[in-house]
């Protein structure tokens, strides 16, 4: 079974600085997708960024980018120019490229990010 591990329960960053959140996963599959979700105090789960495993190029969405290392099964999230609104729980998630229950999202335990003014 696939697993997702986020080894940093909590992280802190100064406003305008850069922070990197770590995520590793375990799978024997070659076709899969990876995601980062943000959960602010409002509890809403918000998709931040996604990466297809077959793409070598790292995904980027404005201030958010990933470092996808397929061989190492690592998928870290870099937040540049951190803003107060970035404070939230961040979840790394894996999804198989296949269907059925294997195709559903498998989440890590999350990293709580604090942003200091």
Partner 1 sequence: DSGVTQTPKHLITATGQRVTLRCSPRSGDLSVYWYQQSLDQGLQFLIQYYNGEERAKGNILERFSAQQFPDLHSELNLSSLELGDSALYFCASSVAPHPGQGAYGYTFGSGTRLTVV
Site of interaction with partner 1 (CB under 8 A): 31, 33, 35, 37, 42-47, 50, 52, 91, 93, 95-101, 103-110
What is the torsional sign of CA 99, 29, 2, 12? negative
Backbone angles phi, psi at 34, to 5 degrees: -125, 145
Facing residues of 46 across strands? Answer: 38
We find the least distance from the C-beta atom of residue 52 to partner 1, in angstroms, to be 5
CA–CA–CA angle 116, 82, 43 (5° rounding): 80
We find the least distance from the C-beta atom of residue 100 to partner 1, in angstroms, to be 5
Q: Quick one: DSSP state of residue 103? A: G
**Cβ proximity to partner 1, 16 vs 46, nearer residue:** 46
**Cβ proximity to partner 1, 78 vs 107, nearer residue:** 107
We find the least distance from the C-beta atom of residue 11 to partner 1, in angstroms, to be 17
**Cβ proximity to partner 1, 87 vs 91, nearer residue:** 91
Distance, in Å, from the CA atom of 90 to the CA atom of 88, rounded to the nearest integer, reads 6
């Amino acid at each position: 079974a696939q697993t997702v591990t986020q080894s940093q329960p909590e992280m802190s960053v100064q406003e305008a600085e850069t922070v990197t959140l770590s995520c590793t996963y375990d799978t024997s599959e070659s076709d899969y997708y990876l995601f980062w979700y943000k959960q602010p105090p409002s509890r809403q789960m918000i998709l931040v960024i996604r990466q297809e495993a077959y793409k070598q190029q790292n995904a980027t969405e404005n201030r958010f980018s990933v470092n996808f290392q397929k061989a190492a099964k690592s998928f870290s999230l870099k937040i540049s120019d951190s803003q107060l609104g970035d404070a939230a729980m961040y979840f790394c998630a894996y999804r198989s490229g296949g269907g059925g229950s294997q195709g559903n999202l498998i989440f890590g335990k999350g990293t709580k990010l604090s942003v200091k003014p």
